[in-house]
Structure 1
Amino acid sequence: MDRVEVRNLEVTYGNRTVLAVDRVSFERGGFYGIVGPSGAGKSTLLRIMNLLERPVSGQLHLFGTEVDLTSLSYAKGLPLQRQMGFVAQKPSMFQASVYDNVALGLRYRKKSRMEMQALVEEALELVELSHVRDQRANTLSGGEAQRIALARTLVCDPSLLLLDEPTASLDPYNISIFERVIQTIHRQKQTTILMITHNLPQARRLAQTCLFVNNGRIVERSDTEAFFHRPRCTELADFISGRMIC
C-alpha cells in the first residue's frame, strides 16, 4: 500500500460538521491540486493529515503505517509527522538567522554539524537565498520568508509535502521561484505533493490530479485536463467559470 489514504473522516466544530470524507487516497509520487471556495474544508483536511488537529473519527494510512486519528498519541504521531512537510500561507520565522531557521528540524533529528551544514546550504541554494544565510530571518521580505519556510521543510526530505495556499500573498517573481522549486523536488525525488490553491491557472500548471472540495466534502476528482475541461458536476463547472456556487 504505497500511498497516503484517509478514511471515515469527520471533523466537527461545535455542532457543525466542517469535513466529512468517506475515503480519499493519494499515490506516492503524485502531485495533487486541491481547489474549492473559502471555508470548504480544504485547510482542515491538510491539518488533519499533518496531525495538527484531532477529528471526531478517521483513519490515516501513510506509506504502510495505519493509525486511528482519534486516539493517536504524540509519541506515536511524531515519526509520522517527520515523514511530512507542511508549508502554510503565512510563514513563521523564529528570532534567529536564516541558517538557524532552516536547520531547526535537522537539529531535532540529531544530524551532525557537517551533515546539517551541507543540507542547509543545499536547501538555501535550491530556493535561491544562499546570500541571506546569516541574515536575521525576521528582516526578510514576505516572499523571501516563504521561500525560507519551504527550505526549512524540504531540508528534512519529506515523503509527503502539504502546501496550504503557500503562494497566495506572493508577487509573481517569488511565485515563479516557489513553483520551480516544488516542481524540481517532485521530479527529482518523487515527493508526494498536496497543494491547496485559489489560483486555478497554478493548479492547471502544476498538478497531475485535482480535487474539488465544497461544503466539507470532496465533490469531484480527476486528472487535471478533464477536471478543467470536462467537469462532471455543476458546482465545479460554476466554480471554474467564476459563478457563485452553493
Structure 2
Amino acid sequence: MSVPRLCFAAARYAVRGKTLLGPLDITLQSAGITCILGPNGAGKSLFLALAHGMILPHQGQVQWNGQPAAETRQSRGFVFQSTPVLRRSVRANLTFPLIARRSDRAGRAARVDQALHDARLAPHADSPAAALSGGERQRLALAQAMVARPAAVLLDEPGASLDPASARLLEDMVRHVAGSGIKVILATHDLPAARRLADDVLVFINGRLAAQSGAEAFFTGRHAPAVMDYLEGRL
C-alpha cells in the first residue's frame, strides 16, 4: 500500500472572522504514526476535521494525493474520543461499514472475523455492542475504521477517558494498524503515549504549527520557548 500524501496549502479555518487554525502549509507523506500534540485549544481536533474533510477551510486547500479531502473521505477512517455504536451486535457494527461501501460480499465475513481478532473482541462478536466497556468500544471504533482497509485512519484523543490497561490495549491495536500499512494520524494529550507510539510529531500552539519533526529528534531536542513550555507543563 502506497503512503498517502496529505497537503495543507495556505489552509485557514475561522469562526466569525476569528482565525482558529492556520494558515497552514504542511505536507505529510510518511508511513507509520504521526502524533498531533499541543495544549487544550491549540487546534488539534480542527486539524483532524480539516484533514478528513468533515469541515472545509475558509481559505486555502486541504488535499489527499491531489484531491480535496472532502471528496476522498471514503478512503479514510476516523475515530472520535467517544464513538457511538449501533444498537446491534459487535459483529453487525463491523459489517455495517463494509455494506455501506458496497464491498465484495464474499469476503465480508473473513474481514470481519479478522477485525474481531485484531481488536481482541472475538469473544464478544455476538453480544450487543452497547454492552461493551469503554476500552472495548474504542477498540471496536478503530476496528470499524480499519475493516474497509482505508489508506489512513485519523484518531482524535481515542484513549482520553480510558484506564491505563485499556489505553495500552488500544495502543497495541494502533501499532498493529500502522504495521499493516495504514497511515495513522493520532491527536493526543498523553505525552508518554506519544513517546511510545510516534514516528513523527506535529505540535500546534494557539492555532499555529509550532513544530514538525521526527519523534526521536523531537523528544530529545530543544525547541522554541513556547514548545518547551508545553513539553515541561507550563502551557
Which range, TM-score by smaller chain? Answer: over 0.9
2 CA distance for matches of 1:119 and 1:21? 40
User: For 1:178, which of 170, 175, 178 is the aligned residue?
Assistant: 170
1 CA distance for matches of 2:194 and 2:90? 29
2 CA distance for matches of 1:8 and 1:223? 23
Identity value in percent:
33
User: For 2:49, which of 44, 47, 59 is the aligned residue?
Assistant: 47
- Equivalent residues of 2:24, 2:209 under 8 A apart: no
1 CA distance for matches of 2:48 and 2:114? 27
SS across alignment from 1:37: coil
For residues 50-85 of structure 1, what are the alpha-carbon distances to aligned partners after superposition, in whole Å with 9 as ceiling and x for unaligned? 11112212312313x333x6xx6xxxx2xx111111
Residue 223, structure 1, aligned to residue 196, structure 2 = no
Return 5+ residue gaps in structure 2 as ranges. Answer: none
Deviation, 1:28, is: 4.0
Q: Which residue of 1 aligns with 2:124?
A: 132
Equivalent residues in 2 for 1:226-245 (5 A)? 226-244=217-235
Deviation, 1:112, is: 3.9
Q: Which residue of 2 aligns with 1:57?
A: 59
Q: CA 1:26–1:213 in structure 2 vs 1: closer, same or farther (change >3 Å)? A: same
For residues 186-215 of structure 1, what are the alpha-carbon distances to aligned partners after superposition, in whole Å with 9 as ceiling and x for unaligned? 1232x2111111000111111111111011
Q: Which residue of 1 aligns with 2:77?
A: 85
- Equivalent residues of 1:8, 1:22 under 8 A apart: yes
With structure 2 as the length reference, what TM-score do the two structures score? 0.94
Q: Which residue of 2 aligns with 1:27?
A: 29
Q: Which residue of 1 aligns with 2:100?
A: 108
Q: Which residue of 2 aligns with 1:163?
A: 155
Q: CA 1:214–1:47 in structure 2 vs 1: closer, same or farther (change >3 Å)? A: same
- Equivalent residues of 1:97, 1:137 under 8 A apart: yes
With structure 1 as the length reference, what TM-score do the two structures score? 0.90
- Equivalent residues of 1:212, 1:219 under 8 A apart: yes
SS across alignment from 2:19: strand
2 CA distance for matches of 1:83 and 1:7? 20
For residues 106-163 of structure 1, what are the alpha-carbon distances to aligned partners after superposition, in whole Å with 9 as ceiling and x for unaligned? 0012234431111111001001000111111111111111111011011011111111
User: For 1:146, which of 116, 138, 143 is the aligned residue?
Assistant: 138
Runs of 4+ more than 3 Å apart: none
Deviation, 1:103, is: 1.2
1 CA distance for matches of 2:140 and 2:64? 26
Return 5+ residue gaps in structure 1 as ranges. Answer: none
2 CA distance for matches of 1:113 and 1:194? 29
2 CA distance for matches of 1:156 and 1:15? 38
- Equivalent residues of 1:86, 1:162 under 8 A apart: yes
Counterpart AA for 1:218: L
- Equivalent residues of 2:50, 2:62 under 8 A apart: no
2 CA distance for matches of 1:2 and 1:152? 20
2 CA distance for matches of 1:126 and 1:45? 28
Counterpart AA for 2:110: A
